[in-house]
Amino acid sequence: MRFDTLIINANLATMNEEFGFGRGTAYGAVANAALGIVDGKIAWIGSMAELSTHHADERIDACGGWLTPALLDCHTHLVYAGNRSDEFEMRLTGVDYTTIAKNGGGILSTVRATRQASFEQLYEQSLPRFLALVNQGVATIEIKSGYGLDLDSERKMLQVAKKLGEDYGISVQKTYLAAHALPPEYQGDADAYIEKVCQWLPILHAEGLVDAVDAFCEKIAFTIEQVARVFKVAQSLNLPVKLHAEQLSDMGGSGLVASFRGLSADHIEYLSSGDIVKMAAADTVAVLLPTAFYCLRETKVPPIDELRSHAVKMAVSTDCNPGTSPSVSLMLAMNMACTLFRLTPEEALAGTTIHAACALGLPNKGKLAVGCDADLAIWQIDRPADLSYLIGQNVLKQLIIAGKSRH
């Protein structure tokens, strides 16, 4: 056997059914193992004992650490300008998120700052958030627009997202979220704004700036009918859809996204039983955003047991954004998914690997399997549960992206 890179002395959390993940072997674990890489892809997986004569250009000794798929953050708004800690202070005096939004704060406050920022300023302000995720083992990041709300500003956000990915060799999935809030120039005429959102989508798609389409279905945002209009345009362009759904109330958005065979319904604290059945049938992933739940002091927990019993895949993400989740820690989101939502640490790791990959429509990522992308993380931990247990400790030893070491 010949490898470009061979990782030895690792314990693997494969998150792969072939190694028993989901079928009785926690994490699809393989102890005392090795993994070979050829041309940026995983070429061989097995125990050290099975490793026969081979040649490797590069050898990485994991020294008994754990090797997992690199993490994927499948829901972020990390490209934005400005700062909303003033709203944090207001919320602490008892003013709620909806009231702040209705008074021109919230998303619209970030829209003002993002519109004003130049491309360079936006890039510069977003970069530390982007790198903080990468430095914690994240090799795929979904980034949404949605703080521009006009064609040029939405384009600027998506271009910044694209450039961040290109400059740092990170897989960035760009999501068009122009239907995030009603901009001031369309106050009182949401339908006219949705018409614009539908017109801009093919333009930005033709520029190579859109991988998926999202919207915010909520009383303070858009109705199910308005979201459906945007989704129909996405469908005509063969773009997958996802939705901010059931975050503050049950609008039936998750059922809508399932009816489009969408990738994911995200937030879903107020998800109904009927929509869980629809999501299960459409294989739509439930994206859990516990940091936003925590920051808003939400008390309604997503229906985890029911999602489990219908075998709906659950992903976990930071929701990194300036208002409801000023966090750049995917490990903290995993911890909160366990502590606040009672996920098991195994479910939380699946939520940031294999199920996050499903939520992004990337079947070649998120698991250790021959033929998959060699996006890997080596951790200095005793057990994979440590990734959900530890708070604020960076235990990443090495990040490997498409077979190449980042450090």
User: Could you give the string, one character per residue 246-265, with x where binding to ligand NIG holds by CB under 6 A and - elsewhere?
Assistant: -x------------------
Using rule CB under 6 A, residue 292 touches ligand NIG: yes
Q: How many H helices and E strands in the chain?
A: 15, 16
216 binds ligand NIG (CB under 6 A): yes
Mark out the alpha helices in 223-326 (DSSP H runs). 224-236, 253-259, 273-282, 290-295, 304-309
Q: Is 398 annotated as a binding residue?
A: no
Instruction: Give the C-alpha separation, 117 to 134, whole Å.
Output: 24
- Residue 75 assigned ligand-binding role: yes
Candidates 218, 319, 347, 375; binder of Fe ion (CB under 5 A) is 319
In degrees rounded to 5, what are phi and psi of residue 36?
A: -105, 145
Q: Exposed, middle or buried: residue 33 (CB in 10 Å: 0-12, 13-18, 19+)?
A: buried
One-letter amino acid at 238 equals: N
Give residues 267-286 in contact with ligand NIG (rule: CB under 6 A): none
Query: Residues 380, 57: contact at Cβ < 8 Å?
Result: no
Report in angstroms how near the CB of residue 39 gets to ligand NIG at its nearest: 37
* Single-letter amino acid code for the residue at 176: Y
180 is in an annotated binding site: yes
Q: Give the bridge partners for 247, in sequence order.
A: none
Nearer to Fe ion, 326 or 403 (CB): 326
Site for ligand NIG in 112-151 (CB under 6 A): none
Q: Is the dihedral of CA 289, 290, 295, 298 positive or negative?
A: positive
Q: Segment near ligand NIG (CB under 6 A), from 125-133, 256-264, 277-285, 315-323?
A: 315-323
Binding letters toward ligand NIG, positions 154-193, x by CB under 6 A: ----------------------------------------
Interface residues for ligand NIG in 78-107 (CB under 6 A)?
Answer: 106-107
> Which residues participate in the annotated binding site for 4-imidazolone-5-propanoate?
84, 147, 180, 247, 324
> Which residues would be at the binding site for Fe ion (CB under 5 A)?
319
